[in-house]
Amino acid sequence: METLPLNTIYVQNLLVIINRLHMLLHSTALAFLFYYRLCFFFQPSETRESHLLLPWLLVFASEIILSFIWILDQAFRWRPVSRSVFPERLPEDHKLPAIDVFICTADATKEPTLDVMNTVLSAMALDYPPQKLHVYVSDDGGSPLILHGVREAWKFARWWLPFCRRHKIKNRCPKAYFSALKDNDDGDFARSSVYMEDKQKIKEKYEAFKEEIKTFRKDRTFSRDYPSVIEVMQETIIDDVDDVKMPLLVYVSREKKPSHPHHFKAGALNVLLRVSSVMSNSPYILVLDCDMFCNDPTSARYAMCFHLDPKISSSLAFVQFPQKFHNISKNDIYDSQLRSIFTLQWQGMDGLMGPVISGTGFYIKRVSLFGNFARKGTDLLQLKEYFGSSNEFIRSLNQNYTSDLVSGQKYALLEEPHFLASCNYEIGTKWGQEVGFSYVSVVEDYLTGFILNCNGWTSVFCEPSRPQFLGSATTNLNDVLIQGTRWYSGLFENGINRFCPLTYGLSKMPLLQSLCLAWLTYFPLYCFPLWCFATIPQLCLLNGIPLYPKVSDPFFIIFSFIFLSALLKHLLEVFLTGGTLKKWINEQRIWMMKSVTCHLYGCLDALLKKVGIREASFLPTNKLGNDEQTVLYQMDKYDFQASNIFVVPMLALITINISCFFGGVYRVLLVGDCDKMFVQLFLAVFIITVNYPIIEGLMIRKDKGRISKLVAIPVILATVVLLAFFKLLGMHSMLY
Ligand SMILES: O=c1ccn([C@@H]2O[C@H](COP(=O)(O)OP(=O)(O)O[C@H]3O[C@H](CO)[C@@H](O)[C@H](O)[C@H]3O)[C@@H](O)[C@H]2O)c(=O)[nH]1
Ligand SMILES: [Mn+2]
C-alpha cells in the first residue's frame, strides 16, 4: 500500500533521560571545579598552598580541555535515535532507481587481490535488479594483478550470481560463504540435495578461480607514471552458463604522473564519479573500501527505504551503514571496532542532521556531491569552470541523460572516460573543492560529510542487526597507531582550517550538529591533558607540591565525583552496547595509549602541515592478516613490536608514574602529609593499574610481542636520571 511508511524512527527515550540527567550532574560538578581553580588563582599569593604556579596552570588547562571535549561529546548524547525499515513495501523492481558501486583499491601488496575480488563479487551479488547495478573498481596502484583479478571475477560471477539467486544465499561474499563454520547460511535449502550438488560444483569453480588469481604473476612495476586503463567486462565468454543477467563491471585505473598530486582516495572516487557519469550515471552510489565486503545482500533495498521516502528524500544525501569488522576479538584490546562511534555517536548524530560519511558502506545521492551547481544556472561556460571541459559529463547532469556508451553497447568508444580519468582534467575546475569528494583533508569522508551538512543535506544511519558490510580492522598496535595518526591529523586539521565546525559550521547548521562535528575534529586534543596528567601531578608528588584539595576538604568530593561520574558513565555505555567489564578497561587503556602517542603525532602533523613543513600522506592499512600478530590479538596480548616512536613515550610515562609513586610514598611517610597528596598518589596508582600490560610486556612476557629490553633499558635509565635531576631541582627551589 502506498500509505505505509518505508521506515520508522524512534527516539531512545530512556537513554535520553539518563544522558541528560548525567549531563546536568556532571556539568554542575565541573562548574564547582572551575570555581575551585579560579579561587586558587585569585588568592593572595601568601596564603596559597603552593608557590609554584606553572603546574597549577598546566593542570587547569588540562581540565579546561577535557571539559571542552566533554561538552562537545554531549551533543551526541542529546537525542539518540534508532530506525527500522520495511523493504517489502518498496515499489516493484522495474521502478527502483539504478545504483553504481565504487570499490577502491590502492596497493596490491597490502590489499590481496583475492580479497578485493571477494568484495567485488559480493557487491555484484547484491539483491537488486542486475541491470540497475553497476560496479566500478578503482585501482590506484595500476596493478595488472587487479585487472586480471577483475576479469576472472567477471567469469566466476557468471556462476556465482545465479547460484546465490537460485538458493537465496545470504552470505554472498564467496570467501566468507565457503569458510563459514556452520552451514547456517544455507537457509531452508540446507537439506535439499540439489543445493548440495550445486554447492559442490560452485566450490570447485571457486577453487579454480582462486588458483587462477594465485598463480597469475606479473612483475610489479612500482611506477607512479602510467596512463589510464579502463576496461568494461563484456559478455564475450559463451560457455555453458545460459543467459545470466549480470551487472555492469568496469575496471578503472586513472592516469598518474609523479608531478601531479593524486589526492589519494578522494581523487580516485572523483574519477569514478566522472567516468561512471558517462557510462551508467546512476542517481545513487554505494562506496566501498576494497576490504569491506557485503555481508548481506539487502543493503541496497534498505538504503532505498530512505532514499525513496518522500518525507525525507529531498534533503537526504546518504544512508550510512556502520563499519563492522570480521576480525574483532571478544575483548578487542585496541578498540579496533571503534565501539563508541558506531554504536553510540552515530545514533546521536542521526537524531540531529545525521552522521558524517564513514568512508565506506554508504549509499549517496549523486547530485549531492555536485555542490551548489544548480544555482549557477545552465550557462555552459560556468558549468565548465565548475566541472571541467567534458561536454559529455555536463550532458550527464541532465536527469534524462542516457549514455551512448551503455545504451548503444559501444564499449569500444572509451575516449571520453579516458579524458575524464586523466591527470589534467581537474586543473582549473572545482573538483575536490566544491565538487565531489574533498581534497582538503586526508579524512575525505569526514570533510565531505561536513560540507554536505553545510549545504543543508542530511543523512541517516541504518543499523540492521545483521551487519550489512564487514571489513578488516587493524589489529596490531603499530597499525592501529599509524592509522590513528593519519586519522587524527586529518581530523584535527579540519578544526584549524577554514572549515572549523565552531565558526564556519555554526553559521550553516544547527548548534548540536556543529558540536558533534567539532568533537570529531578536536578530540585528538586529548593528547595535551593526558600528557599533563601523566607527568605533572607525579612530579609534584615527588616534590611535595599539592595540586588537588585535601581529602578533608569538601572540594575533594567534587573531584572524586567527576572522576567516578566519567568512569561510570563510560562503563554504562559499554554495558548498554553489549560490552563487558574487560572491554571497558581495554577502552580506557587504549584511550590512554593512543592519547599520548597518535593523538599527539596527529595534532603535530596537522600543525606542521598548516605551517607548510609537511605534506599530506595516506599509507593504506595492511589487510593481510599476520598469523603471529592475529594470535596475540585474539589472546588479548598487546603487540609491543611497534615502532619506537610509539613505545618510547609509553615506557617513559609508566616509568615516571612508578618512580614518582614510590618516591611520593616515601616522602609522604617521612613528612606525614598523606591528606594533601592523596589525589596525586591515587592518580599514579590508577595510571599504573590501567597500563599494567606495559609492565607485563616488559617484565613477564616472553613471546614475540613483548617490549624489547634493548629499547626499554635506555629509556628507563634516561627517565630515572631526569627524574633525579628534577627532584634535586625541586629541593633546590624549595630551599631558596
Ligand atoms: O591513495 C589511495 C589510498 C587509499 N585508497 C583506498 O582507500 C580505502 C581506505 O584505505 P585504508 O587503508 O583501508 O584506510 P582506513 O584507515 O582503514 O580507512 C578509513 O579511513 C579513511 C580516511 O582516512 C576512509 O577513506 C576509509 O573509508 C575508512 O575506512 C582503501 O580501499 C584503499 O584502497 C585509495 O583508493 N587510494
Ligand atoms: Mn580500511
479 is catalytic: no
3-state secondary structure 411-453: CCCCHHHHHHCCHHHHCCCCECCCECCCCCCCCHHHHHHHHHH
Q: Is 265 annotated as a binding residue?
A: yes
Query: Taking the CA of residue 696 as centre, how many other CA atoms within 13 Å lie in the half-sphere pointing to its CB?
Result: 11
Cα of 169 vs centre of ligand 2, distance in Å, is: 26
Pocket test for ligand 1, best of 101, 102, 103, 104 (most atoms within 8 A of CB): 104
**Which residue's CA is minimally distant from atom 33 of ligand 1?**
105
Ligand 1 proximity of 493 Cβ (cutoff 6 Å): no
156/125 Cα distance (integer angstroms): 12
Ligand 2 centre to CA of 114 (Å) is 16
Compute the distance from residue 229 Cα to the ligand 2 centre, in Å. Answer: 24
Provide the residue type at 373 as one letter: F
Helix 511-522 and helix 54-74, axial crossing angle in degrees, nearest 10: 130
**What is the rounded distance in angstroms from the CA atom of residue 347 to the CA atom of residue 463?**
9
Cα dist from 718 to 285, 532, 706, whole Å: 55, 19, 20
Residue 25 region by backbone torsions, left for phi larger than 0, else alpha for psi between -120 and 50, else beta: alpha
* Residue 487 alpha carbon, nearest atom of ligand 1: 23
**219 labelled catalytic:** no
Instruction: Check if the beta carbon of residue 496 is closer than 8 Å to that of residue 610.
Output: yes
- Predicted pLDDT at 242: 61
Cβ 442 under 6 angstroms from ligand 1: yes
DSSP helix/strand/coil, 724: helix
Judge whether 186 is annotated as a binding position.
Answer: no
Q: What's the pLDDT tens digit per position in 656-674?
A: 999 999 999 999 999 999 9
d(CA 79, CA 120): 37
Locate the ligand 1 atom nearest the alpha carbon of residue 105 and give its number.
33
Residue 597: the pLDDT is 98
| 303: nearest Cα among 284, 323, 276, 288 | 284
Q: Measuring CA to CA, how many Å separate 352 from each of 78, 339, 694?
A: 9, 20, 40
Query: So what's the pLDDT on residue 408?
Result: 45
CA pair distance 138, 274, nearest whole angstrom: 12
Report the distance separating Cα 450 and Cα 443, nearest Å: 11
For the beta carbon of residue 725, count every other beta carbon within 10 angstroms.
10
322 and 473 in contact (C-beta within 8 Å)? no
As given in the structure block, the three cell numbers for residue 246 are: 549480470
Q: Is 509 left (phi over 0), alpha (psi -120 to 50) or beta?
A: beta
Instruction: Give, using CA atoms, the residue closest to atom 31 of ligand 1.
Output: 289
User: CA-based angle 176:180:181, to the nearest 5?
Assistant: 160
483 lines ligand 1 (CB under 6 A): yes
- Of 653, 590, 19, the C-alpha closest to 332 is 590
- Residue identified by cell 552496547 is 577
Q: What is the pTM of this model?
A: 0.95
End-to-end CA distance of the chain: 86
Q: Which of the following is catalytic: 100, 445, 479, 605? A: 445
- The per-residue pLDDT for 2 is 56
CA-nearest residue, atom 12 of ligand 1: 620
Q: Are 300 and 135 in contact (CB under 8 A)?
A: no
288 lines ligand 1 (CB under 6 A): no
Task: From the CA of 471, give the closest atom in ligand 1.
Answer: 29
627 burial (CB, 10 Å; 0-12 / 13-18 / 19+) is: exposed
Q: What is the pLDDT of residue 407?
A: 47
Q: Which ligand is nearest to the CA of 362?
A: 1
**Helical spans, DSSP H, in 622-673:** 627-634, 644-671
Cα–Cα distance for residue pair 232/430, rounded to 1 Å:
28
The predicted pLDDT at position 677 comes to: 96
* SS3 of residue 83 by DSSP: strand
| Alpha-carbon span 620 to 617, nearest angstrom | 10
Catalogue all structural domains in the chain, each as residue range(s) with its CATH number. Answer: 98-180+195-404+421-471 (3.90.550.10)
**Does the beta carbon of 139 sit less than 6 angstroms from any atom of ligand 1?**
no
Instruction: Answer whether 356 contacts ligand 1 (Cβ < 6 A).
Output: no
Closest residue to atom 35 of ligand 1, CA basis: 265
Measure 151 CA to ligand 1 centroid, in angstroms. Answer: 23
Judge if the beta carbon of residue 264 lies within 6 A of ligand 1: yes
Q: What's the count of helices (H) and strands (E) in the chain, helices before strands? A: 26, 12
* CB neighbour list of residue 644: distance below 8 Å, 6 or more residues apart: 711
Calpha distance 26→474 (Å, rounded):
34
Q: Which amino acid, one-letter code, is at 57? A: L
* CA gap 663, 667 in Å, rounded: 6
CA gap 388, 128 in Å, rounded:
33
pLDDT digits (tens, 9 = 90+) for 681-719: 999 999 999 999 999 999 999 999 999 999 999 999 999
Residue ranges, the chain, pLDDT below 70: 1-2, 49-51, 181-191, 219-222, 235-242, 374-377, 399, 402-413, 731-736
* CA of 106, nearest ligand number: 1
| Phi, psi dihedral angles at 221 (to 5 degrees) | -100, 125
Say how far apart CA 36 and CA 549 lie, in whole Å. 9
350 is in an annotated binding site: no
| Separation between Cα atoms, residue 435 and residue 372, nearest integer Å | 9
Q: Which helix (H) or strand (E) holds 10?
A: strand 7-11
CB of 645 within 8 A of CB of 598? no
> Strand, helix or coil at 214?
helix
Find out whether 110 is annotated in a ligand binding site.
yes
> Does the annotation list 2 as a binding residue?
no
Q: DSSP secondary-structure letter at 285?
A: E
Which one-letter DSSP state was computed for residue 87? G
- Rounded alpha-carbon distances, angstroms, from residue 453 to 195, 316, 356, 575: 48, 10, 8, 32
155, 116 Cβ separation under 8 angstroms: no
Give the strand pairing for 7-11 and 469-470. unpaired
Distances (CA, A) of 355 to 322, 346, 531: 10, 5, 30
- How many other CB atoms sit within 10 Å of the CB of residue 184? 10
- CA-nearest residue for atom 9, ligand 1, is 289
Alpha-carbon distance values, 221 to 138, 144, 145, 213, 230 (Å): 18, 10, 11, 18, 19
Q: Which atom of ligand 1 is nearest to the CA of 486?
A: 23
Residue minimizing CA distance to atom 8 of ligand 1: 289
Catalytic residue of the set 100, 115, 140, 350: 140
